[in-house]
Amino acid sequence: MDTREFGRLGRISALTLGGGGIAGVWGRTDRAEAVATIRAALDAGITMLDLAPSYGVDAESERAAGEALRASDEVLVTTKVQLPDGQGDIRRSLHDSLARLRRDHVDLFLLHTHLLPRDGSSTVPGNITWRRYRDEVVPEFERLRGEGLIRAWGITAIGHPDAVTDALREAPRPEAAQVVVNAMDMTGDLWGFDGVAPANDAILRVANGNGVPVVGIRAVAAGSLTASLDRDLPADHPAAVDFARAEPFRKLAAELGETPAALAHRYALTVPGVATVVLGVKNREELAECVAAEARGPLRDEELRALVALKS
């Protein structure tokens, strides 16, 4: 598998195994299959796992990884902390994650709460103020790194675009940023700021311009860019609405001889400035499809033009 530069953490695999799928967020799976999928991912050359306490019931993604990983495994482990409505204890969350993972440190620790703009123009519940981010979160992340409990820290860069770009520009900067990257510019059921448009392309450019490695997320837009949604959703659910909108994408995938999921992942892997793409797979079969897609290499110019035409 291709490897790419990832700042402080060195080179990592072009694909990262995400924790949502193996924790049952994107359809049913079980612990045995989750453990087997993690082992298969490592065997395929994947060198990073992207986990979170919020993935699955009772932090299932971390528990599955704790069971699957061996002391000899050379794998980077990412986990996260959520601070809803300004509450939560960063250090306690990390220690709880380490206990479930059976590790003494994580390689990348991400803020999993969206940032609000520093000017107070948005006060969406469940997000974190700019003041708390700069005055509390960043200093604590820096302390945790200094203590060796984490090797690097970053943000899930899907907050208010003004706040995210401010965070990427101002030192100390995040050492990684998760950015939505997919072929149809869909939010992947992650947008919560009414009246403000997502700015994922701009955020990607700002991250690249400031030396912040980018982790591409939502490559299949929460399942909307796959052959079928494998969980029951009401027709007005954002992912279901996007799935209906994506019918031309599925038609193009068939014309190109690709499955929709494979085409979506090859697109994300082709986007300049993306260091690694997180997979939302829930079993070994879906993993194999994505690994094979990565092995086929970047999309050709004519394939990219066809995808761009779908969005115009």
- For 97-101, what is the mean pLDDT? 98
- What pTM, to 2 d.p., does this model score? 0.96
Paired strand residues for 78: 50, 108
Q: What percent of the chain has pLDDT over 90?
A: 90
Domains of the chain, CATH where assigned: 3-311 (3.20.20.100)
Paired strand residues for 154: 110
DSSP one-letter code for 84? G
Distance in angstroms (rounded) separating the CA atoms of residues 263 and 224: 13
Distance in angstroms (rounded) separating the CA atoms of residues 138 and 53: 20
- For 20-48, what is the mean pLDDT? 97
Query: Which residues are CB-contacts of 184 (< 8 A; sequence separation ≥ 6)?
Result: 221, 224, 225, 242, 245, 246, 249, 310, 311
Tell me which amino acid residue 157 is: A
Name the band, by pLDDT with cuts 50, 70 and 90, for residue 240. Answer: very high
- Structure-token match 């902390």, residue found: 81
Name the band, by pLDDT with cuts 50, 70 and 90, for residue 85. Answer: low
Name the band, by pLDDT with cuts 50, 70 and 90, for residue 193. Answer: confident
